[in-house]
Structure 1
């Protein structure tokens, strides 16, 4: 992620000693993303990812880290946090809450094809099934209350047509969230940010397996169909036009439903939840673009992409037929 906090070799070495991982061999900052500070760390025991949390507090972190631990221990391709001698997963580095997880092998993809979408659909469904006995609860911190607070802050920066779109979508979201059908949707701990750059594949071309799902630090308790909508809006969308690519969407949905069939209500509300997911990321990118934070490697993402995705989801709703 963006490097907001510089970490010295001595500070990293102190963390590694606490976790029983031996001396620091190498450390490299990770420059992609915009939320936390991340470094690749190498020790004699292996390769790790060290994260310093710039917005989340010590009290909020157990939900994310225990969720990762829960999924990893159930055989899903999720990095597992390293515990200290007392069993704690939340550490402190440079005065910030921090965690260390094992580094998974593989590479992220810029252009996923049908095979990759099928791989992801199956893993996503298994993740949703695996949290049935996960005991912790935490609201999605980018849910409706956050959108209600963020929309009036970014609205003055918008052109009239975009401000009208924002007003329309906020009204749509209020109506959706108040409906009995929405409130009855199956829910649990979800990733909520599973973009193509938060997953990795390894193996021969055309036969790759999904080897890693990571960056759970937007996770929260939300509907499973919202999590699915987030994935569809990234993995199955044309990056130039923002339009849904139907073959990829159908491949992902078929693989998902082979593991966890969606209810009729989930299928009916999926088009509306695609709008919810698009609005959530349009707002966060508008905030990052117009109200940036300082960071030595900060690269805010263009909000125009999710404006296009949102317009497409609203104007051409897709009803899955699988």
Structure 2
């Protein structure tokens, strides 16, 4: 969430009239994130988030917004998209696709404790179950096909040690993604980016998941691995915090029990989740885009996590 496309309050005077929100009263850019232009929007009807999509097209966005609506109807606390007077969730603004969603209460918990991790694990499992009957299909656009296409673009930018690590891990993940346990993993819609800054809390009460614009259909275990690799680690070293990881995994397992194939795939999936974000940060760092308030994330953070996942087994999904 950065600001690539500048928008002022005056730009919304006529545009906002197609929504049942009254007049726009205030607009403030959101600095965090790196994919879209995001703003806090205040209208006569309340507080919302306006997003202008910089990379996703009109044909892709219905998946994300309809998934959010599907989950919200089933009791998962996610931002609810607001339709215009034609029933459309995606409309043009400044020549680009845009959408308005409800604003969640609370704030991100950047120093999570086991209780926060348990709440995230339980809600993630409920989200996966709630999404099982979502009828639309879209692959994870940052899955292994994207890794294969992105690796040649970043390899020339790496030193010998990191180039070797990337080549070796891509080889390992190619074999893992082709194995029988991987093929048998339960699948459905996943958030795929459930970092600390994409969850809201009031105290220890989880009030919502947001920023679904990396969502797609993938293995549920990948979603769990992405989440553990952010919520349950020491940020300085990338090492797993066992108490937080155990709290998250046990809470998830209580809502949707992990399968034997998921248990067998857990360690390589944690590596896959680390690789995905190392690659994307390498690409953003070495192929930067201009944007107001944009600072690319440091790729070495996920390099450390990947090396740690290779060197040290993480706590298992459940106790056999």
How far 1:88 sits from its partner (Å)? 1.3
Match of 1:98 in 2: 98
Match of 2:243 in 1: 247
TM-score (norm. length: structure 1): 0.97
Match of 1:310 in 2: 306
Give CA deviations for 1:215-236 in whole Å, capped at 9, x if unaligned.
0000000000000000000000
Give CA deviations for 1:169-214 in whole Å, capped at 9, x if unaligned.
00011101111211111100100000000001014xxxx2110100
How far 1:13 sits from its partner (Å)? 2.8
Cα distance in 2 between the residues matched to 1:4 and 1:13? 20
SS of the residue corresponding to residue 163 of structure 1 reads: helix
Whether 1:200 and 2:200 are equivalent positions in the alignment is yes
How does 1:1-322 map onto structure 2 within 5 Å?
Answer: 1-203=1-203, 208-318=204-314, 319-322=316-319
Runs of 4+ in 1 over 6 A off after TM superposition: none
Structure 2 contact 181–264 (Cα < 8 Å) conserved: no
Alignment gaps of 5+ in structure 1: none
TM-score (norm. length: structure 2): 0.98
How far 1:100 sits from its partner (Å)? 0.2
Q: Number of residues paired by the alignment? A: 318
SS of the residue corresponding to residue 16 of structure 2 reads: helix
How far 1:75 sits from its partner (Å)? 1.0
How far 1:317 sits from its partner (Å)? 2.0
Structure 2 contact 249–318 (Cα < 8 Å) conserved: no
Alignment gaps of 5+ in structure 2: none
**Aligned-residue CA RMSD (Å):** 0.9
Cα distance in 1 between the residues matched to 2:160 and 2:307? 15
